[in-house]
Structure 1
Amino acid sequence: MKYQAELKDDILFIRLEGDLVAGTDTQQMIENVDKEQDGKVLLCAVDLSNVRFMDSSGMGVLVSLLTKFRNRGGELVLIKPSNHIRKLLIVTKLNAIFTIAENDNFAAQFLKESIY
């Protein structure tokens, strides 16, 4: 899995590509997000549009990120998950805790409204 993190208008956009599965790269991503942002960023959008496959540990990564941001008083939103990922979220009932946005603009609007 590859990822890019970009801070834009006080929102951390994390763009994932490939397979979101257990591995050192997923754990390293979580650690790097914490280290780079030093716990100061409250809003996060995770772009899943280029994620081909996700297993239970990948879902754990998303839940871990969501928990980190909510514990800070912030929020996290998922951007454009594939049909496969959407079905996984529904089957696991994680669709009840994640907000799904269709694009960056909707994600940013939702996140900014969530803290005010």
Structure 2
Amino acid sequence: MTTTSTLTDGILYLSLAGDLVGSPDTQQLLAAVDEYLGEAVTNCAVDLSSVRYINSTGIGVLVSLLTKFRSRGGEMVLINPADHPKKMLALTKLTNIFTIAANEAAARQQILLAAS
């Protein structure tokens, strides 16, 4: 899995690619996010459009990230999950918990809406 992160207007944008499964990659992702949380970043958008496969560990990582941001009064939005992640989110009924946006602009709108 590869991860790209950018910080724009106080929103952390993460772009994930490959397979989101248990590995050192997921631990590095969580550690990187913790660094941003230390800088008082409370909102995040995670682009899942390039994630081919996600397992229960990957789902757990997403839930962990959501919990981190919401516990700080922020929000996390998933952007355009690819087919397999979308099916897994629906199967686990996490589509009721996660906010899902079609693109980065829609994710930004959802975050700003949640903040108001």
TM-score by length of structure 1 reads: 0.96
Aligned CA RMSD, in angstroms, stands at 0.9
Residue 111 of structure 2: aligned partner: 111
SS of equivalent to 1:78 = strand
Residue 77 of structure 2: aligned partner: 77
TM-score by length of structure 2 reads: 0.96
User: What pairs with 1:3-22 in structure 2 (closer than 5 Å)?
Assistant: 3-22=3-22
Q: Number of paired residues?
A: 116
1:14-43 deviations in Å (ceiling 9; x for gaps)? 000100000111011101111144150111
Instruction: Give, in whole Å, the separation in 2 of the partners of 1:6 and 1:21.
Output: 22
Gaps of at least 5 residues in structure 1 are: none
Residue 102 of structure 1: aligned partner: 102
1:60-89 deviations in Å (ceiling 9; x for gaps)? 000000000000000000000012211111
Runs of 4 or more off by more than 4 Å in structure 1?
none
Gaps of at least 5 residues in structure 2 are: none
% identical aligned pairs: 52
Residue 90 of structure 1: aligned partner: 90
Q: Given that residues 22 and 57 in structure 1 are in contact (C-alpha distance below 8 angstroms), is that contact kept between their aligned partners in structure 2?
A: yes
Amino acid paired to 2:93: K
User: What pairs with 1:40-51 in structure 2 (closer than 5 Å)?
Assistant: 40-51=40-51
